[in-house]
Structure 1
Amino acid sequence: MRLKHYSGGLSAHQLYLRIKKGVMTRLAPGIHVWGKPSPVEAAHVLSAQGFLLTGRTLAQLMMEEEVTLPIEVSIPHRQRRSDTPWVRFHRTRIFRPATWGEFNIELPVIAATRLATAAALRFLNHVYAGRKGQAEADKHAKEKLSARAKRLLNQAAIGADSPPERDLVAALRQAGLRLKCNSKIGDYHWDIELLDYGIAIEVDGFRYHRDSEETQANFRRDRWKANDATLRGYTVLRYAAGCIYQQLGQVVDQILAAVRPDPKPGRWSFGVWKWHPYFQGLGPGFL
């Protein structure tokens, strides 16, 4: 990086003149750099000074989005720093340093509390996605957390791999069901397990089962996977990702019927060709 932190050697007046001429930039009190940094470069400098990247800045970096000013950093509550157009300081009593690549960061579950709820959940879903996500979230949950951080963890789709899985998780939680994403049953991982009912749910995209040697292997493995869960006493339910996008209400209704049998089942109890939009000629978008 072309910019370096400058910490001394010039009087306040000399610094002022260099800042005015654009030779130097004042990021924050006592923190000056040569030239004018990009937001990412400013984040590098602030991180190198021991500040923890947090909030919107950390979310933008980890989700590979454009980083915008001001850079948000976390500092211990006993410290006092004045915000500038370049940096916003968050004082916290729960100061939990971590690293991500070459950056010093605040634990993501704590950093998320600097965001609005929707943005915080989107960030946590990204950070704690996949099979390792649950273990990582569990490890971070052992730290001292605020009440809001705990609520966000409980609301997030920890371990979910894809947007349709997360949409289904949110809908099932809204229906009052306890669940676990990327749950291991036997030797296999399932997208969602309903913890109180012995129900294993899988959400498949069309590409997952397209004709190729790899997807043929997936197809064969999934037959054995479903049989294995069935023989362990699980009810197995499978849905195409398109059904989550276009028929979420019917999907949830059918899952609830497996949980709490209804004497008046929904239209899903009839042949799918009789009611599903895909079979009504509305195209593959409704898979």
Structure 2
Amino acid sequence: MGEILTTADLRARGVHAKKIQALIRDGKLHRVDRGVYTTSRPQGELLLRALQQARPHIVFTGRTAWELRGNRSVYLPAAALVARDGYLRGSGYLRLIRGKSATTELRNGIRIADPLRTAMDMPATKQFEAVKFLEGQYGGKDGSARLKEDLAAYARVPAGMRALVGKAAVGGDSETERVLFRVLREQGIVMEQNKKIGHYRRDGVHEKSKVIVEVNGYEFHRDRGVMVKDCWKANDALIRGYTHLSYSDSCIDMHLAEVVAEIEGVINGRARPSGPVWGWHRMFEEP
């Protein structure tokens, strides 16, 4: 990886204006921003660190911060936040957005926006990825609490940020859960994920209709101890007055529409028994 050099650094090495221009023409020096250069092609983290050095107050956001958090290749131009009264002129390497991140994080000399601001600044063509990103950032049993805390850091939550949060299935432990609860959200059914009722955490709870939905992955739930716990967990829900629905990860993968329809039917009081599962579920098809 190349060096990042300022005009002052180059002058200290005896490299002045005409020599700088000659090195640029020969491809031995690359101008990233005013007064900042790299000795190799500016790309990836080298480019972002150079931009950060040229403009210390910018905060990378949107697709750029998403790419950094996911160790993806950096797409150009990089996106960064600048204060509302700041200098807004960008470049071929940099696109500036007026705004502020409630909190920031420094990674290897690169300052990035918080997950909420990162998601809000994603391109319109990447909104699905933005929702999945939020679900990943705020997964697990404390996901909802962390999301609430991060939202509270904003004096006023922007409408675009609130809209993305409303689409995200926050608190899930697996991508399969997130897929199911995300689609239910799209249908207007919001499940509280990883909610503790009694001694047990439930994958999804619709409190108004007293419906619990569990998603069981084969690799984890085939363990005998887990199976015993699942049985008593389901019984506990019934005793507490809940309707308890269980689906395997294969049900979500192969029959998502049917699963969603059944949950909707139970919640809305219009459920009808399906035929014997071995007669229609693709799991039972011959290889």
Asked if 2 retains the 8 angstrom alpha-carbon contact of 1:72 and 1:87, the reply is: yes
Asked if 2 retains the 8 angstrom alpha-carbon contact of 1:53 and 1:74, the reply is: yes
The equivalent of 2:245 in structure 1 is 237
Task: Give the TM-score, by structure 1 length.
Answer: 0.84
Number of positions where the alignment pairs a residue of Structure 1 with one of Structure 2: 274
**Alignment gaps of 5+ in structure 2:** none
**Residue 37 to residue 241, structure 1, CA distance change in 2 (3 Å):** same
For residues 151-166 of structure 1, the aligned pairs below 5 Å read 151-166=163-178
Asked if 2 retains the 8 angstrom alpha-carbon contact of 1:75 and 1:95, the reply is: no
**Residue 65 to residue 161, structure 1, CA distance change in 2 (3 Å):** farther
Query: Percent identity at matched positions?
Result: 28
Compute the RMSD of aligned alpha carbons.
2.4
Say which is worse superposed, 224-233 or 106-115, in terms of deviation.
224-233
For residues 181-196 of structure 1, the aligned pairs below 5 Å read 181-196=193-208
SS in structure 2 opposite 1:247?
helix
**Alignment gaps of 5+ in structure 1:** none
Say which is worse superposed, 24-33 or 160-169, in terms of deviation.
24-33
Residue type at the aligned position of 1:8:
A
1:88-145 residue CA offsets vs partner (Å, 9 max, x unmatched):
22222x3434116444211211121222222321221222222232222111111132
**Residue 7 to residue 50, structure 1, CA distance change in 2 (3 Å):** farther
Asked if 1 retains the 8 angstrom alpha-carbon contact of 2:5 and 2:37, the reply is: yes
The equivalent of 1:208 in structure 2 is 220
For residues 98-137 of structure 1, the aligned pairs below 5 Å read 98-99=104-105, 101-102=107-108, 103-115=110-122, 116=124, 117-137=127-147
SS in structure 1 opposite 2:112?
strand
Asked if 1 retains the 8 angstrom alpha-carbon contact of 2:215 and 2:249, the reply is: yes
Structure 1 residue corresponding to 2:254, chosen from 223, 246, 258:
246
**Residue 68 to residue 169, structure 1, CA distance change in 2 (3 Å):** same
State how far apart, in whole Å, the 2-side matches of 1:241 and 1:166 are.
11
SS in structure 2 opposite 1:177?
coil
The equivalent of 1:278 in structure 2 is 283
Asked if 2 retains the 8 angstrom alpha-carbon contact of 1:178 and 1:196, the reply is: no
Asked if 1 retains the 8 angstrom alpha-carbon contact of 2:2 and 2:38, the reply is: no
Structure 2 residue corresponding to 1:17, chosen from 22, 38, 45:
22
Asked if 2 retains the 8 angstrom alpha-carbon contact of 1:29 and 1:82, the reply is: no
**Residue 19 to residue 121, structure 1, CA distance change in 2 (3 Å):** same
Give the Å deviation of 1:266.
Answer: 4.0
Say which is worse superposed, 251-260 or 17-26, in terms of deviation.
17-26
Residue type at the aligned position of 1:275:
W
State how far apart, in whole Å, the 2-side matches of 1:16 and 1:186 are.
71
**Residue 65 to residue 217, structure 1, CA distance change in 2 (3 Å):** farther
Residue type at the aligned position of 2:279:
K
Give the Å deviation of 1:156.
Answer: 0.8
State how far apart, in whole Å, the 2-side matches of 1:131 and 1:4 are.
43
The equivalent of 1:87 in structure 2 is 94
State how far apart, in whole Å, the 2-side matches of 1:207 and 1:164 are.
13
SS in structure 1 opposite 2:262?
helix
Asked if 1 retains the 8 angstrom alpha-carbon contact of 2:104 and 2:113, the reply is: yes
The equivalent of 1:150 in structure 2 is 162
Give the Å deviation of 1:242.
Answer: 1.5
Asked if 2 retains the 8 angstrom alpha-carbon contact of 1:27 and 1:87, the reply is: no
The equivalent of 2:3 in structure 1 is 3
**Residue 137 to residue 15, structure 1, CA distance change in 2 (3 Å):** farther
State how far apart, in whole Å, the 2-side matches of 1:267 and 1:230 are.
19
Asked if 1 retains the 8 angstrom alpha-carbon contact of 2:167 and 2:186, the reply is: no
The equivalent of 1:219 in structure 2 is 227
Give the Å deviation of 1:238.
Answer: 0.8
State how far apart, in whole Å, the 1-side matches of 2:106 and 2:166 are.
23
**Residue 13 to residue 160, structure 1, CA distance change in 2 (3 Å):** farther
Give the Å deviation of 1:164.
Answer: 2.2
**Residue 35 to residue 66, structure 1, CA distance change in 2 (3 Å):** closer
